[in-house]
Amino acid sequence: MRIAIDRDRCIGSAQCVLAAPGIFTQDDEAIGEVLPGREHDADDPAAVEGIEACPVGAVAIAED
């Protein structure tokens, strides 16, 4: 399982980063992304907080 961000849905609100700065960051266009090496930390409680914080449901847990 991995953390997946739907770039087309993301509105750059940064709520995922604020909720879980150890998991999420934003690219140059303010689109949310998962920090390198954290993609498979879907079980981390912080990842769940980031997923739940996204106002548009752009973050989800996906199959590998």
Residue 32 contacts ligand SF4 per CB under 6 A:
yes
**Contact with ligand SF4 (CB under 6 A) among 23, 34, 47, 59:** 59
Q: How far apart are CA 19 and CA 43, in angstroms?
A: 15
Of 47 and 58, nearer to ligand SF4 (C-beta) is 58
Q: List CB contacts of 36: < 8 A, sequence separation 6 or more.
A: none
Q: Could you say whether residue 25 binds ligand SF4 (CB under 6 A)?
A: no
Position 11 contacts ligand SF4 (CB under 6 A): yes
First to last CA, the chain: 5
What is the distance, to the nearest Å, from the Cα of residue 17 to the centroid of all Cα atoms in its chain? 7
61 binds ligand SF4 (CB under 6 A): no
